[in-house]
Chains A and B, each alone.
Chain A
Amino acid sequence: MARVRLRVDDFNPLAAPLFSLFDPRSGAAEQLPILRLATTVLFGPDPASRLRDDRLEKGALIDTGAWVSVVKKDTWEQLESSGLVDHLERRAADQSVIGGTTSIGGQRLPFTFGRIWMAVIDTGVATPGVLPRRANRLPAVPVLCQLLQEEETVLKRPILLGLHRGVLDGRQLRRVPVPLQVTPHERSDVGPRYGQQWWLQDEG
């Protein structure tokens, strides 16, 4: 069964924590992490299995609250220049092409639809200076994407992987509770620090 481990990133900056909670009755205090589920995707259909994979890569977040995937303008334009974006038309009942807007972080942003092949990978615990030689990879699938038409800085990563018509289809997203642990490379996946590991795997 092919599977990849997802990373848990903490977006609460060490230098200037955003959320510190204090309970005045008990004296308990805590700096809240801002956890997000992250991964790396490769673009385009999978190469033949005997070939080394050398496709373009980007960081992505998994957001099951997003109904489809979303791609930043700069990013899909870069992918488009490599022929990796199939544009799709949204049509009204009379077959006229219509646009749309989506709400991200309180901003309404115009978008068009596109289809981009993506494969999710993981290379294990990051070790600076040590090149990964192998990666776990789930087969590439066509991902329906909202291609943002304006520049914005709301998205935390260039790609938001949504709930439907994408890398989650036909797969299991698993959260595995684990004992709390702090590892030397904990910042490459802080999940165990907060008692969790996440996996995305093919069924079967």
Chain B
Amino acid sequence: MPELLPNTDQAYPPVADNVPISPGAILLGEALAMRLNTGDILNLRFFGGELESYRGEYIVAGPGGIILGHHARLKQAEALAAPEAAARGIPPGQLTDYFVPTLD
């Protein structure tokens, strides 16, 4: 199938996909590292079309991307997630909130 629009960016050398550590690099605390990883997992799920039912809501998730609560208001989502997290032994510092955007 022919291309609809030509791509004009192809004549440049490749850039490594991984990110080299720059002089401003820092060490991450354990809780932040866990939250960032959870955020990455939710991002991958969102862009994979797995979070469509949460559009316009905040998700509060624990390590591994497990969804513990969700609501259109962040405070309510946190309130719903808190007892679920406690029951699973997940400390509050390991919880990530993630807003699932609405469609354009």
Contact = CB atoms under 8 A, between A and B. Distances in A.
Interface of A: 1-5, 9-11, 13-16, 18, 21, 23, 26-30, 34, 40, 42, 49, 52-55, 57, 59, 72, 74-75, 77-78, 121-139, 151, 153-158, 176-181, 183, 185, 187-188, 190, 192, 194-197, 201-202
Contacts of A13: 49, 52, 103
A181 B14 contact: yes
B29 A10 contact: no
Interface string B86-97: 000000000001
A23 B35 CA distance: 44
A3 B22 contact: yes
A195 B9 contact: yes
Contacts of A21: 4
A81 to B, nearest CB: 10
Q: Does more than half of chain B's interface fall in helix, strand or loop, or is it mixed?
A: loop
Contacts of B9: 177-180, 194-196
Contacts of A178: 9, 12-15
B74 A74 contact: yes
B17 A183 contact: yes
Contact of A179 (B12, B30, B34): B12
Contact of B28 (A129, A135, A196): A135
B2 A11 contact: no
Contacts of B41: 126, 128
Contacts of A192: 15, 17
A30 B4 contact: yes
Nearest to B63: A131
A195 B10 contact: yes
A132 B33 contact: yes
A157 B98 CA distance: 9
Contacts of B48: 14, 187
B58 to A, nearest CB: 7
Contacts of B43: 9, 59, 126, 187-188
Given A30-B4, A197-B15, A2 B23 contact: yes
Contact of B36 (A23, A26, A30, A40): A40
Contact of B23 (A1, A9, A78, A181): A1
Contacts of B4: 21, 23, 26, 28-30
Given A9-B43, A52-B27, A74-B73, 6 more contacts: A15-B49, A131-B33, A135-B28, A179-B10, A185-B44, A192-B17
A161 to B, nearest CB: 15
Contacts of B69: none
B32 A72 contact: no
